[in-house]
């Protein structure tokens, strides 16, 4: 039999907890019963002794009194028959002699003097019981007068009882008790082992199972039989193992799935990186191509003396610049769409005019490639609509641009037909069809991805940034429409998109700007009183010159507070309010000015291009926000629009640069002054001044179209405005650019920007 | 002269009031004594009055004695108390043995005759020895030797006892007990050679110290004992001839009546009545058949 010796084991503890109290209890009970038994036996011995001595004392009184030794012996021997009685000692007062009968009894002088013989006492192995032998004197007369009779003491008797029988019985009882206790303990020990094994063995089995589980082996199954609690535990462990097994499987599948996703993501990332690299290379190529032309023709232009050739070369430079601007606009559009989606500017427009403009725009390109461009506008299509004509034109332009670009021969057709709308809106379907090279079906799904073209060769052959279709799709979606491409290689491509518009049923005849002349009338703002709130002197001069050129009467305010004061004391038709100004900025000033119900309309000017800033300015009360760098035509048109001089609106697409004349020396001087202040602020870590100067410089550069310097200023701003060496390097780069740039050369033939 | 005055007092009381006021003086406040009083007054004229004092109440005795017509003492101590207080009233001394009365009379009056002359009328407790011998003869007609134990107080009548036995045609075995010697050693040979043993009541000391051993020796030698009290029978004697409470009361009433009728009588009175009591267990062990007439007349003095 295997004994559990591990004192920390359950079985050991069960045995100990079972046996220890039992052993203790058994010992105590045995001790108690033995003591009790001994006390009882001793009590019996005493009773026997008392009875014997009393009997002897009473029965032998006569014999002792009479000195009848024979009778005394006879009576004493009868008493000696009582078990344990071993001897009797008589003493007669009358004869003053001691008489010992039997084998045991203390002889004269053997009783220690300090022993009280009136109570049982023990000497050696014998108990002695003492009693006086008294002759009772009973009243014998009938009319007795004496109340009490003094009994006559004849002598005394000691009866000796051996405790041998008591000891034997006690010994026997101890042996019996010890045997019983031992047997009980053995039985308890055996039962404890049995019980502990019924607990410990299943527990060990469970521990083994759990141990295997710990090492990942979930196959062992714990036995669910035996003690109910352990069976319950086994069920729990089995359930846990099942759960862990399922969890492992699930986890493994998740890991597999995640791995797959990760691989896919990695592949996508690699693809994206590759696409980005391709895009950068493409953009670099796309940007360099027109830039090369611009730079080359600019150089030639400096040396060219023939006025006609110079005009022609300037035209090339202008077109290349437009290409560059379009490309940058596309990238910015896409970036904006990615960040916050397109915001449509819903206005009333006439579809036939838009179509006409597009046809005019692309007819020349088509002719150059000997392509036939046809635009069919179905008669059922309502002409007066509400929508964003600019974005619609952008979509069609992108599609037409692609169609013309990829069609070597044949035709390009645009078809506009009505569709059944989901609501009261007007649904239109636009189909652009070409007879170009076509696209393989496998490539079609990825065509709407940004920076994606059919293949790399396309870019080499045809250029482009791969954003056209992507922007077009986002615009279509913004107009609640859909766009699809059907194509067959070497047959042609058909791009279909649909958009919804609201019909303008209360259409009024709008002013038409048939003339697409690039020039603005000089007196369009004739007599208009404009308050220009601008802190920068140079900007003040620029804006005043520009507005005066168009006939406006300008008044200047150096900050927001000054603008408020002037608006209260004088009457103006319009206020141009710069955002960042000292003392009080444009937003706060606008808020205060618009509280006056008779206040003039306010156009806010800012270099900050975020929608958040624009919305804040509109909420402050500005009628519109013009972004720096200012577009002269857009600014004038916006002023006219705000002044409700719609008749004088120009829909010309401006050159994007102010055409007013500003002395280059003054401009250069102002920029250098700003740069000096910037360096000083950087050294002083004057964060407030830094922010203000950077903003001014950005607006200033934007205002004058000095984009190279503006980008450097943006870089400077992105360095989180601190005095790190990089900041000074950028300022140095700006200064170098000013030195090398043709714009700041005094020999500039135009002396103007 | 003193005797004439006493008689005159009794007659005066009786003639003037036709009633009597008796003073009972008791040795103990014990039922044996009060029972005797009760038996006496039960047969009295309803007009008689009585008072009871115990021997310890001497002042009360002095206070009451002048108001009483007669003093009746019960027990030896009571007699002595009355003697000690020198009562001038007629005095009937009951429940007193011959020896005790003689001793007290000698102590307080000089002699028995002087006591009797002083108006003391003792009704003695001791049954006449002849009655015991007569009983013994009736119980054991074939018995020849009658053992008799005497003490210092009773040894003076040894001749009377011998004659009474001899008159009954039996031989006396007389033992005068010596209190200084072991009574067993003295009693053993007498009882051993007697057919019947008749102890005579003596002093209290001798009575008590010998009774137990008499009975044990009689048991050992199977010798029947004719005792002198009811307690003796209860302790193991075969039979006793003794004065019972009823007998004493009856004799006292009779004596009172005589005194009131004829005047004071200067003599001591032997017990007129006797009672015989048997221990049937002892009789059974002795194989003795008690004659029926003795059993029937046990409470009558038929001896």
3-state secondary structure A556-597: EECCHHHHHHHHHHCCCCEEEEECCCCCCCHHHHHHHHCCCC
Smallest CA–CA distance, residue A64 to chain B, in Å, is 11
Show residues of chain A in contact with B185, CB under 8 Å. 66-67
Note whether B75 contacts A143, CB cutoff 8 Å: yes
Gap between the Cα atoms of A637 and A550, Å rounded: 11
Q: Up-side HSE of residue A376: CA atoms within 13 Å toward CB? A: 11
The tokens for A408 are 């070597």
**Which of B:31-50 have CB within 8 Å of A?**
32-33
B75, B95, B231: residue with CB nearest A140? B231
**Which residues in chain A are contacts of B211 at CB distance < 8 A?**
138, 140
- Residue of A62, A72, A94, A143 for testing the chain B interface, max B β-carbons within 10 Å: A143
Q: How far is CA A80 from CA A75, A76, A476, A666, in A?
A: 9, 6, 138, 157
Count other Cβ atoms within 10 Å, centred on residue B50: 17
Q: Which residues of chain A have pLDDT under 50?
A: 1-4, 508-519, 645-661, 746-753
The pLDDT value given to residue B186: 94
Q: Provide mean pLDDT across the span B262-269.
A: 82
* Contacts of A526 by beta carbon, 8 Å cutoff, 6+ apart: A550, A551, A552
Burial of B168 (0-12, 13-18, 19+ CB in 10 A): middle
Distance from chain centroid for Cα A190: 61
Q: What is the pLDDT of residues A146-176, one digit of tens each?
A: 766 778 888 888 888 888 888 888 888 888 8
Pairing of strands B70-74, B21-26: parallel
Which parts of A629-663 fold into alpha helices (H)?
A: 632-642
> Which residues face A483 on adjacent strands?
A497
- A136 vs B contacts (CB less than 8 Å): 212
Q: In the prediction, which pLDDT does A71 show?
A: 85
| E-assigned strand segments in A475-629 | 482-488, 492-503, 529-533, 553-557, 574-578, 602-606, 624-627
Please state, in angstroms and rounded to a whole number, the distance separating the CA atoms of residues A203 and A220: 14
Has residue B289 got a pLDDT over 60?
yes
Contact B230 A142 (CB under 8 A): yes
Beta-carbon separation of A94 and B216 below 8 A: no
- Provide the 3-class DSSP secondary structure of residue A682: helix
- Smallest Cβ–Cβ distance between A62 and the set B207, B209, B216 belongs to B216
Above 80 in pLDDT, residue B261? yes
Give me the interface pTM, i.e. the ipTM. 0.82
Using a CB–CB cutoff of 8 Å, tell me whether B185 touches chain A.
yes
Q: What's the rounded Cα separation, in Å, for the pair A409 and A523?
A: 47
Note the pLDDT of residue A652.
37
Identify the pLDDT of residue B110.
92
N- to C-terminal Cα separation, chain B: 40
Contact A727, A716 (CB under 8 A): yes
User: B213: which chain A residues are within 8 Å (Cβ-Cβ)?
Assistant: 62, 65-66
Query: Which residues in B lie closer than 8 A to residue A62 (C-beta atoms)?
Result: 184, 213, 216
In chain B, residues with a C-beta closer than 8 Å to the C-beta of A95 are none
With an 8 Å Cβ cutoff, are A145 and B125 in contact? no
Per-residue model confidence (pLDDT) at position B233: 93
Write phi, then psi, for A371 (nearest 5 degrees): -105, 150
Contact yes or no for A145 and B28 at CB 8 A: yes
Number of C-beta neighbours around residue A172 at 10 A: 11
Dist. CA A448–CA A483, nearest whole Å: 10
In the block, tokens 């290349």 appear at: A320
Residue length, chain B?
303
Please judge whether A142 and B28 are an interchain contact, meaning their C-beta atoms are less than 8 angstroms apart: no
User: Which B residues, 127 through 166, put their C-beta within 8 Å of a C-beta on chain A?
Assistant: none
The partner residue sitting opposite B32, judged by closest CB among A66, A140, A143, is A143
Cβ–Cβ gap A67/B77 under 8 Å: no
Q: What is the mean pLDDT of chain B?
A: 86
Mutate which of A145, A147, A153 to disrupt the B interface (most B C-beta within 10 Å)?
A: A145
Radius of gyration of chain B (CA): 21
What confidence tens digit (pLDDT) does each residue in B24-62 have? Answer: 999 988 888 999 999 999 888 778 889 999 988 888 888
- Asked if B95 reaches chain A (Cβ–Cβ under 8 Å), the answer is yes
Of B207, B212, B235, the CB nearest to A135: B212
Element at A457 (helix H, strand E)? helix A456-462
Q: Which residues of B touch A67 (CB under 8 A)?
A: 182, 185
Instruction: Return d(Cα A450, Cα A333) in angstroms, integer.
Output: 12
**B25: Cβ contacts below 8 Å, ≥ 6 apart:** B53, B54, B55, B61, B71, B72, B73, B74, B78, B81, B82
Contact A79, A63 (CB under 8 A): no
Query: For residue A256, which of A248, A244, A267 has the smallest C-alpha distance?
Result: A248
Q: Contact B231/A149, CB-based, under 8 Å?
A: no
Determine the residue of chain A that is closest to B220 in CA distance. A62
- CB of B211 within 8 Å of any CB in chain A? yes
Of these ranges, A84-93, A635-644, B2-11, B158-167, the one predicted with the greatest mean pLDDT is: B158-167
Chain centroid to Cα A267, Å, comes to: 27
Task: State residue A696's pLDDT score.
Answer: 73
Q: What is the pLDDT of residue A508?
A: 46
- Nearest residue in A to B126, CA atom: A141
Give the closest of A67, A142, A145 to B242, CB-based: A142
What is the DSSP annotation of B248-265?
HHHHHHHHHHHHHHH---
Q: Which range among A347-351, B128-132, B192-196, B244-248 shows the weakest confidence by mean pLDDT?
A: A347-351
Computed from CA positions of residues A610, A613, A616, A621, in that sequence, does the dihedral angle turn out positive or negative?
negative
Kindly report the nearest CA distance between residue A141 and chain B, in angstroms.
6
What is the SS3 assignment for A410?
Answer: strand
C-alpha span between A99 and A90 (Å, rounded): 5
Question: A140, B75: Cβ pair inside 8 Å?
Answer: no
Sort out which chain A residues have CB atoms less than 8 A from B124's CB and list them: none
Chain B: closest CA distance from residue A111 (Å): 30
| Across B99-117, average pLDDT | 90
pLDDT more than 90, % of chain B: 50
Please answer whether residues A495 and A538 qualify as being in contact, where contact means their C-beta atoms are separated by less than 8 angstroms: no
d(CA A542, CA A92): 162
CB of A188 within 8 A of CB of A19?
yes
Element (H, E) at A34: helix A10-59
CB contact under 8 A, B32 and A142: yes
User: Which chain B residues are closer than 8 Å to A147 by Cβ?
Assistant: 28
pLDDT on residue A434: 93
């Amino acid at each position: 039999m295997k004994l559990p010796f591990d004192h920390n084991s359950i079985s050991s503890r069960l045995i100990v907890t079972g046996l220890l109290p039992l052993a203790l209890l058994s010992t105590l009970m045995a001790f108690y019963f033995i003591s009790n038994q001994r006390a009882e036996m001793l009590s019996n011995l005493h009773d026997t002794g008392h009875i014997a001595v009393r009997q002897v004392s009473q029965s032998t009184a006569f014999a002792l009194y009479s000195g009848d030794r024979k009778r005394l012996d006879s009576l004493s021997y009868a008493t000696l028959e009582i078990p344990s009685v071993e001897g009797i000692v008589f003493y007669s007062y009358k004869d003053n002699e001691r008489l010992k009968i039997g084998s045991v009894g203390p002889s004269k002088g053997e009783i220690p003097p300090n022993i009280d013989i009136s109570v049982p006492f023990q000497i050696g192995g014998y108990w002695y019981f003492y009693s006086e032998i008294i002759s009772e004197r009973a009243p014998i007369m009938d009319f007795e007068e004496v109340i009490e009779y003094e009994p006559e003491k004849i002598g005394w008797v000691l009866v000796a009882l051996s405790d041998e029988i008591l000891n034997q019985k006690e010994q026997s009882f101890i042996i019996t008790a010890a045997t019983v206790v031992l047997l009980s303990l053995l039985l308890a020990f055996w039962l404890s082992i049995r019980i502990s094994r019924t607990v410990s063995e299943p527990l060990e089995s469970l521990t083994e199972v759990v141990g295997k589980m710990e090492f990942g082996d979930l196959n062992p199954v714990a036995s669910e039989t035996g003690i109910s609690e352990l069976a319950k535990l086994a069920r729990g462990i089995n359930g846990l193992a099942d759960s862990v097994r399922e969890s492992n499987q699930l986890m493994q599948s998740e890991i597999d799935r995640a791995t797959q996703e990760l691989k896919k993501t990695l592949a996508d990332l690699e693809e994206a990186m590759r696409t980005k690299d391709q895009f950068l290379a493409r953009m670099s190529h796309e940007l360099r191509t027109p830039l090369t032309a611009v730079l080359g023709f600019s150089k030639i232009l400096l040396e060219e003396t023939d006025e006609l050739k110079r005009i022609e070369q300037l035209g090339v430079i202008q077109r290349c610049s437009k290409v560059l601007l379009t490309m940058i606009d596309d990238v910015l559009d896409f970036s904006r769409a990615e960040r916050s989606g397109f915001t449509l500017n819903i206005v009333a427009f006439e579809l036939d005019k838009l179509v006409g403009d597009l046809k005019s725009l692309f007819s020349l390109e088509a002719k150059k490639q000997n392509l036939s461009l046809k635009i069919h506008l179905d008669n059922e299509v309502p002409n007066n609509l509400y929508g964003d004509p600019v974005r619609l034109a952008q979509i069609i332009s992108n599609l037409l641009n692609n169609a013309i670009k990829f069609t070597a021969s044949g035709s390009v057709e645009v078809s506009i037909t009505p569709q059944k709308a989901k609501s009261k809106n007007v649904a239109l379907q636009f189909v652009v069809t070409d007879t170009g090279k076509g696209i393989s079906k496998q490539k079609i799904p990825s065509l709407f991805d940004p920076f994606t073209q059919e293949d790399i060769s396309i870019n080499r052959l045809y250029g482009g940034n791969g954003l056209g279709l992507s922007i077009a799709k986002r615009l279509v979606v913004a107009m609640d429409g859909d766009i699809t491409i059907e194509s067959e290689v070497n047959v042609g491509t058909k791009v279909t998109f649909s958009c919804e518009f609201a019909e303008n049923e209360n259409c009024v005849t709008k002013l038409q700007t048939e003339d697409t002349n690039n020039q603005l009338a000089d007196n369009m703002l004739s007599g208009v009183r404009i308050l220009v709130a601008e802190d920068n002197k140079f900007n003040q001069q620029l804006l005043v010159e520009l507005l005066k050129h168009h006939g406006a009467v300008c008044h200047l305010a150096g900050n927001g507070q000054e603008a408020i004061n002037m608006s209260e004391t004088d009457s103006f038709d319009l206020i141009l309010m710069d955002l960042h100004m000292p003392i009080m900025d444009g937003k706060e000033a606008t808020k205060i000015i618009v509280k006056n119900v008779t206040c003039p309309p306010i156009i806010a000017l800012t270099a900050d291009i975020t929608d958040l800033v624009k919305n804040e300015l509109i909420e402050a009360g500005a009628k519109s926000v013009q972004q720096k760098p200012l577009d002269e035509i857009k600014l004038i048109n916006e002023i006219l629009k705000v002044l409700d001089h719609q008749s004088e609106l120009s829909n010309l697409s401006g050159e994007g640069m102010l055409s007013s004349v500003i002395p280059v020396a003054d401009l250069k001087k102002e920029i250098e002054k700003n740069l000096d202040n910037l360096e000083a602020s950087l050294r002083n870590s004057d964060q407030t001044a830094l922010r203000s100067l950077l903003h001014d410089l950005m607006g200033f550069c934007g205002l004058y179209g000095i984009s190279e310097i503006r980008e450097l200023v943006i870089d400077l701003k992105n360095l989180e405005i601190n005095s790190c060496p990089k900041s000074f390097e950028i300022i140095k780069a700006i200064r170098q650019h000013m030195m090398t740039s043709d714009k700041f050369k005094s020999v500039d033939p135009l002396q103007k920007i | 002269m003193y005797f004439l005055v006493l008689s005159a007092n009794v007659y005066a009381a009786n003639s003037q009031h036709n009633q009597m006021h008796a003073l009972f003086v008791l040795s103990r406040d014990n039922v044996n004594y009060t029972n005797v009083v009760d038996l006496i007054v039960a047969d009295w004229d309803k007009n008689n009055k009585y008072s009871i004092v115990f021997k310890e109440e001497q002042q009360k005795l002095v206070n009451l004695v002048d108001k009483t017509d007669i003093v009746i003492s019960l027990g030896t101590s009571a007699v002595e108390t009355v003697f000690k207080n020198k009562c001038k009233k007629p005095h009937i001394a009951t429940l007193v043995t011959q020896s005790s009365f003689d001793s007290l009379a000698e102590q307080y009056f000089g002699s028995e005759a002087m006591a009797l002359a002083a108006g003391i009328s003792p009704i003695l407790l001791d049954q006449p020895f002849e009655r015991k011998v007569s009983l013994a003869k009736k119980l054991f007609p074939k018995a020849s030797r009658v053992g008799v134990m005497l003490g210092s107080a009773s040894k003076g009548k040894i001749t009377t006892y011998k004659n009474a036995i001899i008159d009954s045609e039996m031989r006396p075995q007389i033992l005068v007990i010596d209190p200084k010697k072991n009574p067993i050693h003295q009693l053993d040979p007498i009882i051993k050679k007697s057919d019947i043993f008749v102890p005579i009541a003596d002093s209290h000391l001798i009575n008590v110290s010998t009774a137990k051993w008499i009975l044990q020796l009689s048991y050992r030698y199977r010798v029947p004992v004719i005792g002198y009290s009811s307690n003796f029978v209860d302790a193991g004697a075969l039979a006793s001839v003794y004065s019972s409470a009823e007998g004493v009361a009856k004799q006292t009433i009779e004596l009172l009546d005589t005194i009131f009728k004829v005047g004071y009588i200067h003599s001591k009175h032997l017990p007129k009545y006797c009672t015989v009591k048997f221990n049937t267990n002892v009789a059974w062990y002795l194989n003795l058949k008690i004659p029926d007439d003795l059993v029937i007349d046990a409470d009558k003095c038929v001896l």
